[in-house]
Structure formats: C-alpha cells, structure tokens
Structure 1
Amino acid sequence: MAFRTSPSGPKKPFSAPTSLPAWLDDDADPKPAPRQRTRYRTVWISDIHLGTPGCNAELLLDFLKSIECDTLYLVGDIIDAWRLRKGWYWPPQHNDVVRCILKMAKRGTHVVYVPGNHDEVLRDYTGLAFGDVTVVSEAIHETADGRRLLVLHGDQFDSIVLYAKWLAFLGDSAYEFLLKANSAVNFVRRRFGLPYWSLAAHLKKRVKNAVQFISKFEEVVAHAAAERHVDGVVCGHIHSAEIRQFGDITYYNDGDWVESCTALTEHEDGRMEIIDWAEHKRSEAAGAVPKKAMSPLALVPA
C-alpha cells in the first residue's frame, strides 16, 4: 500500500488545536524562551535506532524542535527491536523524541511511518493509523514542483538482510560494538568541551568494502525506482546521507541519527536539501553562524 501526497490537495492546518492532552502540551512543561523554527514543506528522517546506546536522541530532539513541516516521513529503523530483544534500554531522552514527534502530529504535521528491518514488526500494521501517525510499507511523495518520489527504507535491496539474515545479525553486533566505542569517544570529547564527532562514520568512509557496498546499493535502489516510473527515490538503511543522479532518477538518502545525524528536507518550492545537524552544532560551538545547516553538496537544482 502506498501513501500519496499532492501539493494541489488540501493541507492540514498547522495551527495548534484548542486543547492538547496534558502530556503533549508544551505549556505544561517549564520551557526556555521560544526559538525560531525553520519552515519546510517535508522532512525525512530514518535510522534513529531508539532503544540503543548509539542513538543521538539529544541531537535529534534539538533538530525536531528547530523545524516546522507539513509532512514528516519516518523512513524506518526508528525503534531498534533487534537491540531491545537482547535487553531493555530506553533512557528518558528516547521517550522525549517519541513525545516530540507525537506533538508535531497532534499540531497538524502529517507523520508517515515506513518501517525498516530493525522495526519490521510494525510492517504487520501497514495501512493503519495510530492516532495521527500513518503506517505504510512505502509511499509516493509528490514534491511542490511536481516530481514523484518513491519513499521506502531500503533493506529490500540489501542482499545480506534478504538472503543471509544471520550474517546481518552478526554484522549488527559488530556495529553495536563500534557505536559503543563511538559513545565512549564522545563522552571524552564532551569532558573537554568538544562537539559531537562520529568515529563510526569516519571509519566507514575509509573502509573500501563499505564504500563499494554503499555505491552498489545506491545504483540498485535507483534502478528499482526507474522501473517504478518515478522521478526519484528516498531511502535510509545504509546510514549514509547522499543526493546523487542516476540517469533520470535522483537518489536521496536521509542518513541516520547514530553516526552522521542528518535529515533530508524539501523547501516550499520543491528544492531538496540534506541537513547535517552535527555539523551545524559544531559550527555553533566554534562560534560560527552558518547561513544554512547543510552539507556543502546538499542543494539540488529544481
């Protein structure tokens, strides 16, 4: 089942309802002075991995509180059921992320949840709406400039996940160890007043096999999108934010929130941009005021 959005259709009002449940109401909590929010038409985030020590929940929460959008796509691996099966891990910050997303939905943002392989249990509920959150197996999103984008998590194209799941679990355990090392490194950095830096992302970019896998994955996903006769594809899964052109197909990957801390956004005119929130916070810590919180190659001409 695919969920479709259209720029010509009626938009849900963004203003807050007259009343909210107490646990969702900002007025019920002590809060700092209102911060200016950046307005987007659409935002895509994925691979948050709530329920794992590697999840950068505080950075994600800071990002979500800095934006407004008509539609928020949760493109899989939002909750890491694989990790939670091994033992319960759910600090207060992870609850805050869920709470923030539900607040956005309650106030008019259409939240669309596309489950991934780590939260595949939710695939049994595709087509259903839980409050203000719709669960779908994939979606077709229409941009403001009329392009059709296929939205899916991407594990469908990962041959290891499809054909040798035990290898995927083995790799997941090794990756979990790497993320624990990443957390230790950043604990030390915080003690010295240094901003977040991803050891995992740094190593991934320098391992030849990982680079080759990412490149092949992008090609396969773009080819599948071409067969679906769409203009582009948005996915997650491989924790590598990217915008690339493959013939007539534009490939978008929104990245993750355990390594790079990135999101994909659509402006009101249909322009697409990758937001590198970790880089934005590093710039803030250095005293720089960036013109835009984005990676250098994030803008794609309409």
Structure 2
Amino acid sequence: MNHTTYRTIWISDLHLGSTQCRADVLLDFLKYNDSEKLYLVGDIIDFWSLSKKMYWPRDHNTVIQKVLRKARHGTQVIYVPGNHDENVRHYDSYVFGDITVKNSDVHLTSAGKQFLVVHGDEYDSIAKCHKWLAKIGSDGYDFLIEINRLLRIVRRWFGLQSNFSLAAFVKFKVKNVVQFISDYEESIVSTLRDQKLEGVICGHIHHAEIKDIDGFLYINTGDFVESCTAIVEHFNGTLELIRWNKVEVAIADDERDERLEAEM
C-alpha cells in the first residue's frame, strides 16, 4: 500500500490506556498516512480507564512514539484535550516534545475557510453538568465494546464478517441515543453559527460525520474504538472522511482479538 500525504489530518477518541483502543488499526493508519499538520482532537489518553485499571500494552506506547516521531520530522502536531484527558487542559499553549497543547484552535484551510477545532464535550450538557452520569454512560459503553470483542470472535468462528460494532448498532436502535446525537450537533452549530466560522471539527460522541446544517459545516472525526475514522484535508482544501478498514487491518484486528481472548 502506498503512503498518502495530506495537508491536515484530524483524529480523536483513541482512548489509549483502555482495552477499547484499537491501537493496531491506528498504527496501520499512521503508517500509511502523513500530513503537514496533525490534530489530536481529544480523548487521546483515557485517564478515566487508567484510574480504574492500569492497562498500557506495547502497541499503545508505539502509538505515542509514532506521533512523537512525526512531530520531530516536521509534522505540526496539535493536541486538543477532551473530557477523558481533561487534566491536559491545564497545559494550554505548552509544548511537549514538539507537540503543542491547545484547548481549542481555529484551522484555516488552503481554500481560506475557518474551522473551530474542539473536542466537543463543552457542548454536551451531560458531560458538562453531570459528570457522574457521563462516567456511568462511559462504563456502559465500555461494557458493550467488551461484549463486541467476544462477538467478533464468535462471528469469525462461523465465517461471518468480524468487523461488527455492537455499540454502534445499539446506538442507532435506541431512540434516545439517536436524539442525543442530533441534540449534540444542533447545540454546537447553534452556539458557533455567528462566530464567523465556516464550521466546526470535533469528536467526543464517536460518530463520524460531515454534515451541512443550514450552511454551517459540522464535522466529527469519529474514533479509533469502533469506526476507526479520520478527517483529512487535501491540498486543495477539500475535507474528506476516511474509514480505515482495509483487509490487512481486519486481519490484524482478528489477531488482536485472539491475543486478548487468550489474556481473559
């Protein structure tokens, strides 16, 4: 597979330090995709999970090393913290190992369009005002991901497609969750519409999308837990949603499941 170089790449919700992180897929993505600027749009390190259980396998460390290497070799890396790594927000404007921390940033595309880059939990009323409820929801989501890992193993045994997300399936079958996603999108757009921006690029809800809402572009990077998605800017300023689900990645994911199954 050939390397692809973009002007900008946005990734979020990696959740390094949790068993939900699909580090093998992420490493494959970072291996074949380069950019002049790389945004890490929050929930990069999952301190919520680490506070409950110390989990830091070798491939999670390799992800950090790979990002640092990109930064040393000239990629401008900007880290916009989220709610799972909110302690990093205390270091706004600090530079660590060639990585700049910014609680938010305004990105100017090569086409001259301005986008606010922010994790997005600031516009989630539950995460902002009811942190305890957000953590309960996070625990439930983690449980679905764990069950999903077992389902992938079973589906593989029966010769079915193993790249199946139970959490995503539930998310779009439960009316209240679908309404939450819609409310979240509307909250961000209504708040930012009058700030001389063309749109917003965020993460947080693990639902990748590029959507025009009444002339304001809502862009969500998705995650590297379920969907394994990223937003990229081509050199002409065009923005694109990428789903990283190549065949060789699916094979690596199956191998990871087998390894984790052996650890259980």
TM-score by length of 2: 0.90
Aligned to 1:234: 201
What letter is aligned with 1:152? V
Aligned counterparts of 1:283 and 1:56: Cα–Cα separation in 2: 10
Q: Which residue number in structure 1 is paired with residue 117 of structure 2?
A: 151
Is 1:206 aligned with 2:173? Answer: yes
| 1:1-302 alignment runs, 5 A limit | 35-189=1-155, 194-278=161-245, 280-281=246-247
State how far apart, in whole Å, the 2-side matches of 1:42 and 1:222 are: 22
In the alignment, the residues of structure 1 paired with residue 58 and residue 153 of structure 2 have an alpha-carbon distance, to the nearest angstrom, of 18
**1:195 Cα deviation (Å)?**
4.4
Measure the CA separation in 2 of the matches of 1:43 and 1:196. 24
CA-to-aligned-CA distance 1:78-109 (integer Å, 9 cap, x gap): 00000100110111111111111111111111
Would the alpha carbon gap of residues 96 and 216 (structure 1) be closer, same or farther in structure 2, given more than 3 Å must change? same
Q: Answer yes or no: is the 8 Å Cα contact 1:195–1:282 preserved in 2.
A: no
User: Residue by residue, what CA displacement relative to the aligned partner does 1:139-174 show, whole Å, maximum 9, x if unpaired?
Assistant: 000001000000000000111111111111111111
- The structure-2 alpha-carbon separation of the partners of 1:53 and 1:284, relative to structure 1 and needing over 3 Å to count, comes to closer
Please give the alpha-carbon distance, in whole angstroms, between the structure 2 residues aligned to 1:147 and 1:44.
Answer: 16
2:230 touches 2:241 (CA, 8 Å); kept in 1?
A: yes
Structure 1 residues 250 and 282, CA gap change in structure 2 (3 angstroms): farther
Tell me the CA shift for residue 185 of structure 1.
1.8
Cα distance in 1, alignment partners of residues 119 and 14 from structure 2: 12
CA contact (8 A) 2:221 2:231 kept: yes
After superposition, the C-alpha distances for 1:193-229 in whole angstroms (9 at most, x for unaligned) are 7543222112212211111110111111112221322
What is the DSSP-based 3-state SS (H/G/I as helix, E as strand, rest coil) of the residue aligned with 1:65?
helix
d(CA) in 1 for partners of 2:21 and 2:151? 14
> CA offset at residue 284 of structure 1?
8.1
Long gaps (5+) in structure 2: 252-264
Distance 2:79 2:249 in 1: 31
Q: Secondary structure at the match of 1:227?
A: coil
For residue 261 of structure 2, what is the aligned residue in structure 1?
A: none
For the aligned residue pairs, the C-alpha RMSD in angstroms reads: 1.7
2:26 is matched by which residue type in structure 1?
A: L
**Percentage identity across paired residues of the two chains:** 49
Name the aligned partner's letter for residue 121 of structure 2.
D
The separation in 1 between residues aligned to 2:178 and 2:147, in whole angstroms, is 21
Q: Give unpaired runs (5+ residues) of structure 1.
A: 1-34, 286-302
Letter in 1 for 2:206: H
Partner-residue secondary structure (3-state), 2:111: coil
The answer to whether the 8 Å contact 2:153/2:162 transfers is no
Secondary structure of 2:232's counterpart equals: strand
**Is the radius of gyration larger for structure 1 or structure 2?**
1
Find the residue that maps to 2:10 and give its secondary structure.
strand
Q: Which has the higher helix share?
A: 2
One-letter amino acid of the structure 2 residue matched with residue 238 of structure 1: I
TM-score (norm 1): 0.79
